[in-house]
Amino acid sequence: MSRPVLYKLDASPPATAVRMLAEIIGLELETKDLDVFKLEHKSPEFLKLNPMGTIPTLQDGDFIISESHAIIQYLLLKYGTKEQQEQLYPSDLRTRALINQYLFFDTGVFYARRKNVVAPIFFGGAKGATEKGLAAIDEAFTTLEAYLGDLHYLVGDRLTIADVSLGATAASMRCIHTLDPVKFPRVARWLARLEQKPFFKLTLNAVDILIGIVNSKIVSN
């Protein structure tokens, strides 16, 4: 049986979130790297797989799916054990609704605000983040701080796919934003908790790569 193929970029938080989920459930993926600076994700061949030309994209046999949260749910529900599924994406209606809420927040707000700052550096010649962009990121962290409350993880005392995805995004902010642990103590504790997980090394390595790329672009722009 062939392995699912993940088209990725090591510095991509969404792609890293998919890889973390795969590691958590013990799924081995075949990976193919795309160079976004050479626009390989916009090539005719890749656009046939994913008309949006976005990373990550998953090919599982003749089935192709993009958008990291959809990929994560698909892989977990297809390849995860019942116990893993119940832990990471519980069937309880309200718990699952909260997880979905946080995943939508990640896509529509959290990751989007990071992208709004990083994309101009990558592709628009910007020399760094704007004050407006950093303020928008702080505003998103304020929301995340409120979501966490006094919980260890986003929906309670156990890790779910919401923590996997938002953890990857939150850590990636370090490439252009320094989290204030006094202003956001709950987020800081949550991230520190995630950093103790073996699978989170994938994100920490990705962040190091991302920081290097951003710094290099700022110098060359």
Structural domain that includes position 203: 86-220
Mean pLDDT of the chain: 97
User: Is 210:203 a contact under the CB 8 Å cutoff?
Assistant: no
Same domain, 58 and 129: no
User: Is 30:5 a contact under the CB 8 Å cutoff?
Assistant: yes
Same domain, 53 and 93: no
Kindly indicate the confidence band of residue 219, based on its pLDDT and cuts at 50, 70 and 90: very high
The percent of residues in the chain predicted with pLDDT above 70, rounded, is 100
Catalytic residue among 2, 12, 66, 165: 12
Could you say which of 54, 85, 116 is where a domain stops? 85
pLDDT at 80: 98
| Residue 165 annotated to the active site | no
Kindly indicate the confidence band of residue 114, based on its pLDDT and cuts at 50, 70 and 90: very high
Whole-angstrom distance between the N-terminal and C-terminal Cα of the chain? Answer: 46
pTM: 0.96
- Amino acid (1-letter code) at residue 27: L
| Nearest to 162, CA basis, from 103, 203, 105 | 103
- The total of structural domains in the chain comes to 2
Residue 21, token pair as written in the block: 């989920």
Same domain, 72 and 145: no
pLDDT at 2: 87
| Nearest to 218, CA basis, from 117, 116, 112 | 117
Same domain, 78 and 90: no
Phi-psi region of 67 (alpha: psi -120 to 50; beta: other; left: phi over 0): left
